[in-house]
Structure 1
Amino acid sequence: MSNVKLAIIYYSSTGINYKLAKMAEEGAKEAGADVKVLKVEELAPQSAVDSNPAWKAHVEETKNVPVATSEDLVWADAIIFSAPTRFGNVPSQMKQFIDMQGGLWAEGKLMNKVVSAMSSAQNSHGGQEQTVTAIYTTMFHWGAIVVAPGYTDQSAFTSGGNPYGTTVTQSQDGNMIEDVELAVKHQAKRTVQVAKWVKNGQSN
């Protein structure tokens, strides 16, 4: 029986969602998945990146992280998206990647993918949960199987855990205010577990 193939696709300007993606990678590998951590393409002009030292440093730090492609979606049994909120919605970088998948959608190659999502913002009510559910709205159109954490683990009751998908608040110094590692790892493991059920059922 082959392992679940999980693509963790993120957008991060200064590093928070990259850190969430790496936590999810660790949890998914503990659950036995084959994992790819992939970033979406940066759309902001270089001048904007250069004007923010933290942004510029993160771009340099992650220059070797592969850029997500449609082929990665075809490869994956499961996908975890992670992106910061932008005015309560999905950032344009992630939105463009998702919007470019119309061909796969038309061919039925995105249906039954097992999907979960995470997000961040600079204040505790900055739109994180709205961003997660916005991603899920598109997943319903794909015919994907959305796997939210729900209240399936104690981490849902701790900082950052919630029933929609792990969310985190970024402090002024660029770090996470909440300790969300347990919540992220549970979400990743739950996503992998459901993907195993789906994959095994399809192979019978």
Structure 2
Amino acid sequence: MAEGARSAGAQVDLKRVPETVPPAIAQSAHFKLDQTAPVATVAELENYDAIIVGAPTRFGRMPSQMASFLDQAGGLWARGALHGKVGGAFTSTATQHGGQEVTLFSIITNLMHFGMVIVGLPYSHQGQMSLDEIVGGSPYGATTIAGDKGQRPPSALELDGARHQGMLIAKTANKLFPV
């Protein structure tokens, strides 16, 4: 996503939300614990022209950490601070049928309540229609299938989809917020 957004001239900040799960449980559940990205704050969201939310699937929806973070943005919602900004979502699941689209919708629903303009992954990225290999992707956002222990890296087609969506989000933001 970041690479695609940068290719369209966007400045990109990579952030993560605070972890709420005890370390022992997170480790046994194969959480990615070696994150180097700084922790995001709700207050800084209104400073961005576009916000792309990525989260793994937990039981067919976004994880509680992300839901908690977005729930804390009620003040931004009340002020309309995110109205008209561009939003998008991406996710990963353990299996092909692990809830990719429901997870994307659980993220997108929040973004729409904030009044954001949603950009998904249209079929201009035709790789998501491939029948030659297992591949993630949905018109609602880029996805990947990670395996039950995170052992499968995103495929070339999945990475191309993420880049494409990131580029489209940045181009849309550039049109709405010209420099």
Do Structure 1 and Structure 2 share a fold, with TM-score over 0.5?
Answer: yes
**Does the 8 A contact of 1:120 with 1:128 survive in 2?**
yes
Q: Does 1:105 align with 2:82?
A: no
Q: CA RMSD in A?
A: 1.8
Taking the aligned partners of 1:145 and 1:172, their CA distance within structure 2 comes to 33
- TM-score, normalised to structure 1, is 0.78
* More divergent stretch after superposition (168-177 vs 87-96): 168-177
Higher relative contact order (CA 8 A, sep 6+): 2
| Deviation (angstroms), 1:172 | 4.5
Instruction: In structure 1, give the amino acid aligned to 2:141.
Output: G
**Does the 8 A contact of 1:149 with 1:156 survive in 2?**
no
Taking the aligned partners of 1:78 and 1:34, their CA distance within structure 2 comes to 10
Taking the aligned partners of 1:142 and 1:113, their CA distance within structure 2 comes to 9
Taking the aligned partners of 1:83 and 1:50, their CA distance within structure 2 comes to 17
Ranges in structure 2 where 5+ consecutive residues have no aligned partner: none
Ranges in structure 1 where 5+ consecutive residues have no aligned partner: 1-23
What count of residue pairs does the alignment treat as equivalent?
A: 173
Q: Does 1:169 align with 2:162?
A: no
**Does the 8 A contact of 1:40 with 1:94 survive in 2?**
yes
| Deviation (angstroms), 1:152 | 2.1
- The aligned residue for residue 35 of structure 1 is 12
Instruction: In structure 2, give the amino acid aligned to 1:104.
Output: L
- The aligned residue for residue 20 of structure 1 is none
- The aligned residue for residue 13 of structure 1 is none
Q: Write the mapping of 1:1-204 to structure 2, written as runs, cut at 5 A.
A: 24-51=1-28, 54-55=30-31, 58-59=32-33, 61-62=34-35, 64-158=36-130, 159-172=135-148, 174-176=150-152, 178-179=154-155, 180-200=158-178
- Three-state SS of the structure 2 residue aligned to 1:38 is coil
Q: Kindly indicate which of the two structures has a greater share of residues assigned to helix.
A: 1
Identity of aligned residues (%): 38
- The aligned residue for residue 10 of structure 1 is none
- The aligned residue for residue 5 of structure 1 is none
**Does the 8 A contact of 2:96 with 2:136 survive in 1?**
no
**Does the 8 A contact of 2:57 with 2:103 survive in 1?**
yes
- TM-score, normalised to structure 2, is 0.88
